[in-house]
Chain A
Amino acid sequence: MTDEFDRSGILSVDEKSKDSTIVFGFWMYLMTDLVLFASLFVVFVVLRGPEYGGASIKNTFDLQYVFIETIALLVSSFTCGLALLFAREGNVRGTVSWLLATFVLGAAFVAMEVSEFSRLLAQGLAPARDGFLSGYFTLVGTHGAHVTVGLLWLLAMVVAIAGRGLSRGNMRKLALFAMFWHFLDVIWIFIFTIVYLMGVL
């Protein structure tokens, strides 16, 4: 089963179809992530009963604070889109700047979430207290962990683009990153609605 060939040089045959396969595969991955979040939403809703602190948490959410968080994430999706536009024009500086802007906004979102969590913990509202809080921290925390992974990816992209420019591989990864980032936005909108709005109203 072994065959030896001349292994020199990279051919870029059928790069186009490779791009479309990769984008398709990434869509499928996002579907799996969607099912993952859907399961967490179901768990959250099942455990939301008021008996174990569900009622008391109502007063502890600060909707205004969460709204600012939401804006930060939504705007970061916009800046990410701008980075992609600049990349398509071959503008490395523009791409890198908008990516950094995205990073700042995303990091602000994560920081706000962490401080929200620590505020709850300080009030004794820890995930181990009851089923509702377990569901809350796990759902919101899983999203936060995804955003954090996204931030790491983003940094790696910045380094790669600053180093090697907008190569075919980097363009590909940037497009996937943008899909991932928008996806996290959509999930957050569901969290904002189901966890916070419906929790407070």
Chain B
Amino acid sequence: MNWQTLIFGNLSWSVLPENAIAWFGALTVIAGVLAVVGVVTYLGRWQWLWDEWFTSLDPKKIGVMYIVVALVMLVRGGSDALLMRAQQATSVGDSYGILTSTHFQEIFSAHGSIMIFFLAMGFMFGLINLIVPLQIGSRDVAFPFLNSLSFWLFFAGAALINCSLIFGDFSTAGWLAYPPLSELRYSPTSGVDYWIWSLQIGGLGSLLSGVNFFATIVKMRTKGMNWMRLPMFSWTVLGSMTLVIFAFPILTVTLALLYLDRTAGMHFFTAELGGNMMMYVNLIWAWGHPEVYILILPAFGVFSEVVPVFSGKKLAGYTSMVFSVWAIVVLSFIVWLHHFFTMGAGADVNAFFGIMTAVIAVPTGVKIFNWLFTMYRGRIRFESPMLWFMGFVVLFTLGGVAGVVMAEPPADYQLHNSLFLVAHFHTMIVSGVLFGYFAGLTFWFPKIFGFKMNEKWGIRAFWFWLIGFILAFGPLYLLGFEGATRRLDHYSSSLGWQPLFIVAGIGAISIAIGFSCQVAQLVATFRDYKRNRVGNDPWDGRTLEWSVASPAPSYNFAALPIVHSRDEFWEEKHGASTQEQKFEDFSMPKNTGAAVIVSSFVFLLGFGAVWHIWWLVIAALLGATIAVLVHVFNEDSEYAVSGAQLAHREAGLQYPTSL
């Protein structure tokens, strides 16, 4: 080993991008970072960012930061998607499109990984942070510092995955990196290691959040909020966090073993010397199937709040809604094999997993019927959260039916890894998960900022997304039936697929316009915030979060509410329940930059591990450990709030006039 590898590991000049499009990606990232740094410096806002945001332990602020990062990642993943659509629309016959095969493979691998881990998971934890403590009548989460650490680990993972745009390449092995392709022999560059370490770091953040919010909902509910009074969003989050707790450690192990194979020459998943690659596929899906339900359950929760509010009725079938959440939680652990019926586990095994998979449609159907019953004879207001629901309920049901089709092993032998599958899961994740989170963001935005989002742009965004979605993914169902497999970077013109791929490309452009409308919506929202200012309860809400001021104060509740019924706030408004305000002293956690410091070290650790810079790995590990210890043994981490002082303030509470 010469001195150069000792210091720089595998890094060298040759790791910089190789072609024009890759350079464009790299320069965009660099320009983006420089622009943000420049603007913040120009405005002199670093101190403010640090004091008010980065070091904040207020879950509402952490939630906003999660959502900001998630939306940036949506831009990244969306650019990947547009490139893929451009390639597939043009790379036919004698024309080879705009991307090389390798680059195309890197792009679809990055697209899937980023969308799941850094868009969907980030958006989900963002919404959970914003609303769960408010909804259960709590001032905070169970472990405020851990919450900040989760966010910053998530951020470190997101930063690491985007480093691959500049230094080196990314994995070409797909978003789940099946071996033996992902093993060192077939993927000798550091691309797979970027995949491993950014997911490992982001996944660790998710795991910690899972523990945190599980404990929060179990232990921090306010007085009187027994289980059957818990709002539906919080129920679904509890289910989702249960899945996180049981599924994410499997991912941690799987990624670690793959790294050991690649770096220490071990034989967990290799094709020789006793390795077992099908074990990898089992492990990754034992995490991966629960993962898709981790994402969808909170979206179900959002709609279970949105539909009653915009229908002016209470949620139909609350009890069956709760049971169906738990049915889904349990079932989602015994269906993973439906992702590889074609592995050849035998008819009996396939039959078992096929039936279990089809059975999941039952609790899901229960939910859909309950939402529809809630709307039945309601006075429905079609504001944008409700529009997202309307789009969701139709498309999601169709996507679910497509899932049940593939749950039959004989059918799946035809459809597996075809574009039909791709259409299925995008229907579930885009028109299910993402529409749900958009609805949630629009719905709860006023509670966090004190003003509503611009409705006009919101409606435009919805229609572009909806039509774009149908155009982009409808053709994929048809192409799947015609035998088009996933991840093609080129096909023969005699197949006649090109027109459908062009339609799909147009759909992708429409989605991009929809997203631009959302950017315009945000700009308009903040520009006109004075005009859009609202009070506590802009939508005629039903649950506790609507009982406090908008924006909600950092301590959420000056006096902790006591719950007497399921829709406590609704009952109060209609005189069926009253709160007596009892102001008590309490303590709040002090801001701390410890999570930022720990996560910076973890980022360096990941970077070192990707490039085999071992001194950096050791130094970063040491740094992170010391930073954690210093924080943990610091007993001066809280400050006191006086109840009397608060009572005084609350009496004359004004809505803040500036941001």
Contacts and interface: CB of A to CB of B under 8 A. Distances in A.
Contacts of B257: 43, 134, 138
A122 B122 CA distance: 47
A52 B260 contact: no
Interface string B182-219: 00000000000000000000000001001110110011
B645 A5 contact: yes
A90 interface: no
B585 A13 contact: yes
A89 interface: no
Contacts of A164: 635
A173 B249 CA distance: 24
Contacts of A12: 587
Given A131-B268, A135-B268, A5 B639 contact: yes
A39 B254 CA distance: 9
A201 interface: no
Given A24-B219, A35-B246, A131-B274, A11 B585 contact: yes
Contacts of A29: 211
A33 B249 contact: yes
Given A5-B639, A10-B587, A43-B268, A130 B274 contact: yes
B252 interface: yes
B522 interface: no
Contacts of A6: 639-642, 645
A32 B146 CA distance: 15
Nearest to A14: B586
Interface stretch (B335-343, B349-357, B385-393, B549-557): B549-557
B584 A47 contact: no
B274 A10 contact: no
B638 interface: yes
A129 interface: yes
Interface in A19-69: 20-22, 24-25, 28-29, 31-33, 35-36, 39-40, 43, 46-47, 49, 51-53
Given A1-B58, A21-B220, A46 B279 contact: yes
A66 B219 CA distance: 41
A127 B246 contact: no
Contact of B274 (A13, A52, A167): A52
A21 B214 CA distance: 11
Contact of B276 (A8, A10, A131, A138): A131
Contacts of B585: 11, 13
Given A31-B246, A160-B633, 4 more contacts: A5-B639, A17-B219, A25-B211, A47-B275
11 contacts: A1-B60, A1-B554, A25-B215, A32-B246, A36-B249, A47-B274, A128-B264, A130-B267, A131-B266, A131-B270, A156-B629
